[in-house]
Structure 1
């Protein structure tokens, strides 16, 4: 379902020229991230469910963690970028096409991927310098996520935990605060719309995106930002299922920002 749904989104956006707008460009990138998420996590998980449990090499565990953290971080950054896109669409409709150019959209996505790569590479390389305990190194999880791997360490992990908190703040807290600021301005602009139909369309534009944001950031924050001593293994695994498989891509907005407010001015005779 994940592969078919997100592939269909990408195919529709790429084959319809009318959908080549910033909003659909970001949606297409988000769908591609979901496909990569599935590729990184699901095959090994299904092979262990349907067949005999297969151990993953230490290098394979590190690679899975690196790609998982990279894709998850990019996802969080992209949700913040989409919030900015909707802020411009609703609060500055006449300047939307001038602000959200193709070059700017590509640069924002490239910056999101680059920052995610740098943060995940530093975090993963730091974690896998630790010695791990026991003859059988088992994690009570369906993927090599950061918290369960840290529990296997035979050394002091306070520095590693501090680095995880810093990365979590940069990936989760900062984008979430930017999203909140964007939606404060969006809500203020929506409340100034006189027509009920206009307010309904504007709210529907943001509802699906807000749903995804709340699901993604809430469960990720519980797993990565709470103290290690208070975390529960089973609870972390259940939360990981939500932000890995359950979170849907936000639906496209039912809005045409470049057309809003472009009414003819009778006094000056121009638009």
Structure 2
């Protein structure tokens, strides 16, 4: 019954999105308005014209704008009580999972960073977006190498399509060498963190190649040192062995000996039709 209802909703959305509507092209400045409009959808204001207009606005977003929108929507709905509204406008989403603390040390601590991992897809897009978004709540007083963010997925269920990052001032792709084996590694510039740093994200775009659950995961590694740092800011990565989830390759960051590392990680899954 649930699958039938989802298919009926998808058919409904595709029918109405095939008609021209008066939706303006959305710029980044309009994203808060779009977030607000969709979050306020309820049984009182849902009608065919409204749904078609909002769906068209969502489809007019570029990939970067859509990723920005999803992060803005989820960070504004921290309890995820409005997440079902996204499906009404043609967005499939797996509820985010918050990464667990594994190690806490001195310096910028694991509790000072919240990181979530989710999967989302616009109806009509050929790929899913595996998206990790995070927000630091403190500055690092003892920075060392750049932090690393590893996104992993089961490559037997999904092929690498592309990637995205939120802002080159805060993150970048570190290595694509494991992309076709289910692993991407990103840099996170922790020395630029402050309590005013907005939410940031990294994303892997993955095309489904099999049905069933696609497991995916995020691991955030933070480095700092209480000594004079003489290592490289951008340490190399070695890819080998098993990754965080089945079907992904492992990624080992070659930190300098004087660096101390903590990490946070979590696993999620999305059911591919």
Q: Pick the TM interval, shorter chain.
A: under 0.3
Greater per-residue helix proportion: 1
**TM-score under structure 1 length normalisation:** 0.26
**TM-score under structure 2 length normalisation:** 0.26
Greater per-residue strand proportion: 2
